Chain A
Amino acid sequence: MSRSSMWGAIGGIVRRDLLLAMRRRSDAAMSVFFLVIVVSLFPLGVGPEPAVLRTIGPGVLWVAALLACLLSLARVFTADYVDGTLEQMVLVPQPLAVLVVGKVFAHWVISGLPIVLLSPLLGLQFGLSGESLGVLVMSLLLGTPALSMIGAIGAALVLGVRGSGLLVALLVLPLYVPVLIFGAGAVTSSMAGIGGEANLSLLGACLVLSLFLAPWATGAALRIALE
């Protein structure tokens, strides 16, 4: 297998999925809208006390981002499975794990990256300082790809099962817990003035580990789904 054809396959699938997302912008915008709505409701519900908002801010932002990721991720392979493109993906003369990386990367660009870019604006609602906003963006930049990679395993496992949305949540939420703890922890510790580097390093480790293991697990699950 030559390296160029491997990149060709990843590029091909990323291009196709981005083109599809351009044709259906409303689908892509859904997870961002979800995040904005959830995060905006909290100050209304909890009250405008700055000290309280600052305390719950990192947790709320991170939980909302996590759920927004989960919302769109449950269906990441469904359309391909129904229309037969998934069969073609499995029969590509490249390792399936490589295509999974391309597919998940495209999904992250469509639904994860907007969350990262929007997060400083939402952080302002909770009175986070400039430095903490920077740590928030960093933590989401490292954390959301890890969430996408882990979620892809769940999405592949429940392919073809009815009511799969809830099942994906049940399967992957336990695996999301470390990412959530380190992510929200990074922001909280930077607000406390002890710096978020330790938590960010652990988030980075989560990302590397998920990048290394999740594509293989997802590929194996996809093959089983197609049998």
Chain B
Amino acid sequence: MLQAVTLSCRRGERRLFSDLTVKVEPGTLLAIVGENGSGKTSLLRIFSSLLPPEDGSVLWEGEDIQQLKELYSGQLTYIGHLNGIKDDLTPLENLMSAMALAGEACSQTEAQAALEAIGLKRPIYRLPSKVLSQGQKRRVALARLWLSTRPLWLLDEPFTSLDAASTGIVTERLHAHLQRGGLGVLVTHQEVDLPTDRLQRLRLTG
């Protein structure tokens, strides 16, 4: 279970939110919505431990994530608005090195299966990533979700530059993750097509 307790966040002079308390139960997804600049990404980065909150704390299974440090990192998969892929490497190499780095090393066959699941077929995953379109690069980053065994997924605008079919595929994958008892936090502008009992909305007003 992931909890935010009286969180507040300030970027420069601006206070983005304060006294924010929210709870994400296993099997559910928290969708953070709000206008541009309302602090959605900052909140997600606080959840990921990349950004320390100005005040308040984030608890994972009842323990402060600032204390858990690497133990907490081992529980989550974070996909930010930057894809984290190298232009000079192929999608296959990118995916395999990202998984190895995250401590979830996978075989080439598993990585190929993940890329195919998200619609990147054979000739594409052997090309250098610099020739891919924005949507295809996004899919390379999201392919990690097919290999991740971590309970907590933190996704920043996962559907950006994805076509309708790929959005559907990713949503299905999210649903499967929730059904297995996983948790998710999602920053999004779009409607998420998930059952309402699994979805919790948080609107930031900025």
Contact = CB atoms under 8 A, between A and B. Distances in A.
Contacts of A88: 78, 84, 98, 101-102
A100 to B, nearest CB: 13
Interface of B: 48-52, 70-71, 73-74, 76, 78, 80-89, 93, 97-98, 100-103, 105, 128
Most buried by B among A19, A79, A93: A93
Contacts of A90: 50
Given A16-B97, A93-B74, A87 B105 contact: no
Interface string A77-89: 0010011110111
A19 B73 CA distance: 26
Given A12-B97, A23-B88, A90-B50, 9 more contacts: A1-B70, A5-B103, A8-B100, A16-B89, A23-B89, A88-B102, A91-B102, A92-B102, A93-B70
Contact of A91 (B73, B93, B105): B73
Q: Could you tell me the dominant secondary structure of chain A's interface residues? A: helix
B51 A12 contact: no
27 contacts: A1-B70, A8-B105, A9-B101, A9-B103, A12-B101, A13-B101, A15-B100, A16-B97, A19-B89, A23-B128, A83-B83, A84-B81, A84-B84, A84-B85, A85-B85, A85-B86, A87-B80, A87-B82, A88-B78, A88-B98, A88-B101, A90-B50, A91-B48, A91-B73, A91-B78, A93-B103, A227-B50
Interface string A1-27: 100010011011101100110011000
A153 B56 CA distance: 31
B50 A93 contact: no
Nearest to A79: B86
Contact of A83 (B49, B51, B86): B86
A88 B148 CA distance: 14
Contacts of B78: 87-88, 91
Closest 10 CB pairs of A and B: A84-B82, A93-B74, A12-B100, A84-B84, A23-B88, A93-B73, A16-B97, A93-B70, A85-B84, A88-B84
Contacts of A23: 88-89, 128
Contacts of A16: 86, 89, 97, 100-101
Contacts of A91: 48-50, 73, 76, 78, 102
Interface of A: 1, 5, 8-9, 11-13, 15-16, 19-20, 23-24, 79, 82-85, 87-95, 226-227
A12 B85 CA distance: 15
A226 B42 CA distance: 12
A4 B93 CA distance: 22
A92 B50 contact: no
B98 to A, nearest CB: 6
B49 to A, nearest CB: 7
A90 to B, nearest CB: 6
A134 to B, nearest CB: 38
Contacts of B70: 1, 92-95
A59 to B, nearest CB: 38
Nearest to A102: B101
B101 A93 contact: no
Contacts of A93: 70-71, 73-74, 102-103
Most buried by A among B48, B85, B103: B103
Contacts of B87: 83
Given A91-B73, A93-B73, A84 B80 contact: yes
A62 to B, nearest CB: 33
A20 B89 contact: yes
Contacts of A79: 86
Contacts of B80: 84, 87
A36 B83 CA distance: 38
Contacts of A84: 80-85
Contacts of B81: 84
Contacts of B100: 8, 11-12, 15-16
